[in-house]
Amino acid sequence: MKIAVIGGGPGGYVAAIKAAMMGADVTLIEKNKVGGTCLNVGCIPTKALLACSELLMGIKEAKNYGINIDGEVKADFAAIMDRKDKIVNQLIKGIEFLFDKKGVKLVNGLGRLLDKNKIEVFKEDGSKEIIEADKIILATGSVPIVPPIFPYDGEKVITSDEALNLCEIPKSMIIVGGGVIGCEFGQFFRTLGTEVTIVEMADQVLPFEDKDVAKQLQRAFKKDKIKLLTRNKIQSCEIKEGKVVANLESGKSVEADIMLVSVGRKPYLENLGIEKLGIKLERGKIVVNEKMETNIEGIYAIGDIVDSPFLAHVASKEGMIAVENALGKDKNINYTAIPRCVYTEPEVACVGLTEKQAQEKGIEYKVGQFEFRGLGKAQAIGKFQGFIKVLADKEGKVIGASIVGPHATDLLSELTLAVHLGLTVEQVGDVIHPHPTLSEGLMEALHDVDDKCIHSIGKVKAKA
């Protein structure tokens, strides 16, 4: 069985390796570097930058731990960017190494569908190559959205792509959008000394999470002296005398050296040839069934080009599901328990339903919550802002969770498993958690759903 994959991001390259491991003859077509947005201009490089700013924050707070640091502590921006590039390049080589060992053929170029079994590849040197395949998987990813009111030039008005390749620390920055990208870049540049203003249309950052979750992050932003303008919309924008000026609907204006537009991403489907084949689209995304197959038999689509969350781990899972079905298996994808992570300080990690969603769906639920400050490990490491919140339905089944605090993104996996498997708070809460750890907070929050939390006063009960 010959399988061709167009796009080498976290969906495409995982699909290619999976297919090769299952015995297929696999060709992957990628116009740039393997790894896609996630590895090259997304998840990995931003986390590399945030690791540097987190360490800088830690050094500046060293006196709180009884450690005195003499002399000036400052960021070497060129070295930070160089470290980021080295990490990215190392991981790209890692994927290419896996391709070589697993037998995946990598073809560099722009792939376009000719029919359901043929792809024309346009290479950088001007040559063309025809790839034939029994099954095709489309995984071309997404690009940043830049509304026309912004005078995008890649220098003064930029997207996350350009932000990852700046040559110097900007003195001031306007960030349009208080979602994941805006929050992460905002805190990174603020830690390095940039004056940051975040403009968000909604009444909170992370608009799709619960208010108590956003409130914790906004507290940190206030401490960091990040200016946050919620319930604000930019009416017009211009570059004037070397500055970016944003005029708000409220009548106010904000000025900065650079503007970062981070209002979302859109599927990248240009020159893919889907119209020619009659592949069905809805709202700019490819329509697929639960097998990840399009309306054209034998052609599958995954990742940011289909109607599912724009997340690397979702694309990877969809890639594996598509491959298994392409090779004769019968697999469906389950979107019930998708982790949502923000790598700020404090970290934010959520899964399943929020309280707002549960209310909108008319689901009866109970809440269990535990503050990190109640944990000995959190006190010992000096990171105790935030909480763990668990939502359970009336039968006690875990239907959602939110964590704001240290290592939230790592801690979430246990609760993700609970949501995915439909476990109850009693089943998961009965597990012995090691002490002293941050994971004890999960147990405490699970116990708190039924007011059985030991290290919380809970509801005061009358004595018999």
Which residues are annotated as part of the binding site for NAD(+)? Answer: 177-184, 200, 264
Question: d(Cα 63, Cα 423) in Å, to the nearest integer?
Answer: 44
Helix (H, G, I), strand (E, B) or coil at 40: helix
Pure H helices in 35-155: 36-41, 43-60, 77-102
Calpha distance 36→142 (Å, rounded): 9
Provide the 3-class DSSP secondary structure of residue 105: strand
Dist. CA 255–CA 244, nearest whole Å: 6
Residues forming a β-bridge with 30 = 108
Taken in order 332, 335, 338, 340, is the CA torsion positive or negative? positive
Q: What are phi and psi of 436, to 5 degrees?
A: -90, 125
**Secondary structure class of 391 (helix, strand, coil):** strand
Binding site residues for FAD, as ranges? 47, 111, 140-142, 304
Retrieve residue 28's tokens: 């992957």
- State the binding site: 47, 111, 140-142, 177-184, 200, 264, 304
Angle between the N-to-C axes of helices 312-326 and 12-21, in degrees from 0 to 180, rounded to the nearest 10? 40
Beta carbons of 349 and 306 less than 8 angstroms apart: no
Contact between residue 142 and residue 268 where contact means Cβ atoms under 8 Å apart? yes
Among the options 420, 435, 447, 455, which is catalytic? 435
Question: Token match 């696999």: residue?
Answer: 26
3-class DSSP state for residue 51? Answer: helix
Query: What is the distance between the alpha carbons of residues 300 and 293, in angstroms, rounded to a whole number?
Result: 4
Q: Is 407 marked active-site?
A: no
| HEC assignment per residue over 394-417 | CCCEEEEEEEEECCHHHHHHHHHH
Q: Which residues fall within 8 angstroms of residue 72, CB to CB, at 6 or more apart? A: none
Whether 36 and 342 have beta carbons less than 8 Å apart is answered as no
The set of catalytic residues is 435
